[in-house]
């Protein structure tokens, strides 16, 4: 399995991702602000689909940030964007 990397900018925006030979194969776009971590988007390349990569990205995020299981999830049907707010 490819290594999962976390990269954040100074504003707390960034992602957990898997790159291979310069190609982004999986990514979970996040932002950390005011002790809240928001997941905006998760995408996995066809090359890795069906291998549980999205679950591995989520597990890595949880273990990296020491996030508790308290969360609020909502689905914005207009933009079809799932936002997961996790309390740190």
Per-residue pLDDT tens digits for 45-62: 999 999 999 889 888 887
- pLDDT of 68 above 50: no
Q: Supply the CATH number for residue 30's domain.
A: 3.40.630.30
3-state secondary structure of 54: helix
Q: What CA–CA distance (Å, rounded) separates 78 from 54?
A: 23
CB 86 within 8 A of CB 36: yes
Q: What CA–CA distance (Å, rounded) separates 36 from 71?
A: 10
The residue segments making up the domain with residue 51 are: 5-87
**Lowest mean per-residue pLDDT among 37-41, 65-69, 76-80:** 76-80
Q: Mean per-residue pLDDT for 3-11?
A: 91
Q: Count structural domains, the chain.
A: 1
pLDDT value of residue 82: 43
């Amino acid at each position: 399995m490819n290594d999962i990397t976390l990269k954040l900018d100074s504003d707390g925006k960034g992602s957990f991702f898997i790159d291979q030979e310069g190609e982004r194969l999986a990514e979970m776009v996040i932002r950390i602000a005011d002790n809240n971590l928001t997941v905006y988007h998760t995408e996995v390349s066809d090359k890795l689909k069906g291998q549980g990569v999205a679950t591995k990205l989520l597990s890595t995020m949880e273990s990296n940030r020491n996030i508790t299981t308290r969360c609020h999830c909502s689905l914005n049907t207009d933009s079809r964007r799932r936002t997961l707010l996790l309390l740190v």
